[in-house]
Amino acid sequence: MNLQRTLATAGRILTQIRHDPRTIALLLVVPSLLIGLVAWIFSNTTTFSVIGPSMIALFPFVVMFLVTSITTLRERRTGTLERLLSMPLGKGDLILGYTLAFGLLAVLQSAVAVGFAVWVCGLTISGSIWLLLAVAVADAILGTTMGLLASAFANTEFQVVQFMPALIFPQILLGGIFIARSQLPDGLRQISDWLPLSHAIDAMQAVATNSQDAAYIGGELLIIGAWIVGSIVVGSVTLRRRTP
Amino acid sequence: MLHGLNLSIARGGVVGLLGPSGCGKTTLMRSIVGVQVVKSGSVTVLGESAGSPSLRHRVGYVTQSASVYDDLTVRQNLQYFRAVLKTPKSDVDRVIDATDLGSRAGQLVSSLSGGERSRVSLAGALLGKPELLVLDEPTVGLDPVLRVELWSLFHRLADQGTTLLVSSHVMDEATRCDRLLLMRDGEVLADDTPAGLLASTGAPDTETAFLTLIGQRPSENGNPSSDERGA
């Protein structure tokens, strides 16, 4: 692993995205629009104040997962991945470069989403808005690294697209949006305790309602961080230089 | 699938790898570069096992379809590959000149023609002056003028001591090589100089020579293990 090569990779990815303003616009705007849609749907009820924080956890996570896994897939399909892996680029350099580049986009996207939810949709946040942003950013980066992990495991386009329902939907279903996690049947509750999105949603709701202390939020952030690091490590280790 | 392949390539010079589509040229090249899963047999390149980390500086590889970033300019592509290889910054201008891309340097690769894209891909492989260049059909889709220019570039590189392994399915390119490997169905049918090949088969050109060789040796699937030794 090498910092210079990692930064060169991150810079290259950001330059690519800079040449595609529509992608930047979609990345920054789509999660906010979806949050706005949810707020509108529940505008005659108080539901948005309850599920709003979960939406800030959900949409950037899903969008970053998709964008990252498709971008890495494109790298594979156009042969540039094979070229890079025949060059002195560490697998970790590539994965970390992607994490840095999309992590930066995740920061921007989360900032827009949090701002939109609070100032445009009128979501009440009892706790610190900075803490909310920190959780949102960690959550969006988690989406990025899980996207990287998925595309490292996939050999074809079809496989990587399947990872979206396989890896993401169960986390949404078990994350406490449809039903509080404490009301899940035994077994499922334990599984949901292990899933990173559950912790992101828990942390978002805790900040929004100011129901837990900073140590609790810190603990949740640590769990999300562990998943981020784990995805990077597993993603790097499973990326194959040799393919059939 | 390559069968009972046992060949070694000396350093320096342009070695042509010729044969019909699907005969195993790309598989052989990918094995030499070290990106192909090799089930059995060994591949040694420049004295080291193919694909070993130290070789990644010494071997340049150009895939059949141009492996460059469409949404970057020519120069940005090369600057990134240069940063990965950690060669001097001036290297980018050198390879842009060598591939005659000076007038296109600031353009997005997506706006280039097919031939120009392959030249960008080739330029990337020339960075850092690798000792071995593995070029998979580098002249496909190029106009005749450009093709001649590229072949003279290959020979200039060979004169400077680079070994080039160039594949093609166009038989008339064979005469431009110092040495020829004719492949069919994962086997090497002939390994000779162009002149030697014509002499041994009594054929007037390489295409006829290839057909003569196929006639002499009906396709047989022998020993499935492969043993390849590179330069």
**Which CA distances in Å does B89 have to A156, B80, B92?**
35, 10, 6
Question: Minimal Cα distance from A71: which residue of B?
Answer: B69
Is the minimum CB–CB distance between B67 and chain A shorter than 8 Å? yes
Label residue B20 by pLDDT band (50, 70, 90): confident
For A45-64, write each residue's pLDDT tens digit.
999 998 999 999 999 999 99
pLDDT of residue B188: 87
Reply yes or no on whether the pLDDT at B121 is more than 60: yes
Calpha distance B167→A183 (Å, rounded) = 64
**Among candidate residues A239, A241, A228, A166, the one with its CA nearest the CA of residue A199:** A228
Reply yes or no on whether the pLDDT at B172 is more than 90: no
pLDDT of residue A54: 92
What is the least distance, in Å, from the CA of A197 to any CA of chain B? 33
The alpha carbon torsion through B18, B20, B23, B25 (nearest 10 deg) reads 40
**Among candidate residues A144, A53, A149, A61, the one with its CA nearest the CA of residue A104:** A144
Q: Provide CB contacts within 8 A for B65, sequence distance 6+.
A: A78, A79
Q: Do A86 and B33 touch (CB under 8 A)?
A: yes
Looking at beta carbons, which residues of chain A come within 8 Å of B56? Answer: 86-88
Question: pTM higher than 0.80 for the full model?
Answer: yes
pLDDT of residue B222: 44
Is the minimum CB–CB distance between B80 and chain A shorter than 8 Å? yes
What is the least distance, in Å, from the CA of B207 to any CA of chain A? 31
Structure tokens belonging to residue A188 = 């499922």
Tokens 């050999």 correspond to what residue? Answer: A155
> Does ipTM come in above 0.85?
yes
Q: Do A78 and B69 touch (CB under 8 A)?
A: yes
Element (H, E) at B181: strand B179-184
Question: B185, B19 in Cβ contact below 8 A?
Answer: no
Element (H, E) at A14: helix A3-18
Reply yes or no on whether the pLDDT at B62 is more than 50: yes
Q: How does strand B179-184 pair with strand B187-192?
A: antiparallel
Helices (H), strands (E): how many in chain A? 11, 0
Reply yes or no on whether the pLDDT at B139 is more than 70: yes
Reply yes or no on whether the pLDDT at B60 is more than 90: yes
pLDDT of residue B133: 94
What one-letter code names the amino acid at A209?
A: T
Is the minimum CB–CB distance between B26 and chain A shorter than 8 Å? no
φ, ψ dihedrals at B125, nearest 5°: -75, -20
Highest mean pLDDT among A238-242, B179-183, B205-209: B179-183
Structure tokens belonging to residue B220 = 């047989």
Question: Minimal Cα distance from A10: which residue of B?
Answer: B80
pLDDT of residue A236: 87
Label residue B230 by pLDDT band (50, 70, 90): very low
Q: Output the average pLDDT for chain B.
A: 86
pLDDT of residue B38: 87
Tell me the sheet residues that pair with B191. B181
Question: Minimal Cα distance from A78: which residue of B?
Answer: B67
Is the minimum CB–CB distance between B76 and chain A shorter than 8 Å? yes
Looking at beta carbons, which residues of chain B come within 8 Å of A241? Answer: 34-35, 51
From the list A78, A79, A86, the residue facing B56 with the nearest CB is A86
Reply yes or no on whether the pLDDT at B223 is more than 50: no
Looking at beta carbons, which residues of chain A come within 8 Å of B85? Answer: 87-88
For B75-112, write each residue's pLDDT tens digit.
999 999 999 999 999 999 999 998 889 999 999 999 99
Side-by-side strand order, sheet with B48-49: B6-8, B227-229, B43-45, B48-49
For B153-168, write each residue's pLDDT tens digit.
899 999 988 999 999 8
Stretches in chain A below the pLDDT threshold 50: none
**Among candidate residues A180, A9, A7, A142, the one with its CA nearest the CA of residue A84:** A9
pLDDT of residue B2: 80
Q: Do A8 and B83 touch (CB under 8 A)?
A: yes
Collapsing DSSP to helix, strand or coil, A91 comes out as helix
Reply yes or no on whether the pLDDT at B227 is more than 50: no
Print burial letters for A27-42: b (CB count within 10 Å at least 16), e (below 16). Answer: bbebbbebbbebbeeb
Q: By mean pLDDT, which of B74-83, B148-157, B203-212, B213-222 is the weakest?
A: B213-222
Task: Count Cβ atoms below 10 Å from residue B21 Cβ, excluding itself.
Answer: 8
Is the minimum CB–CB distance between B41 and chain A shorter than 8 Å? no
pLDDT of residue A164: 86
Q: How does strand B43-45 pair with strand B48-49?
A: antiparallel
From the list B34, B57, B70, the residue facing A88 with the nearest CB is B57
Reply yes or no on whether the pLDDT at B65 is more than 50: yes
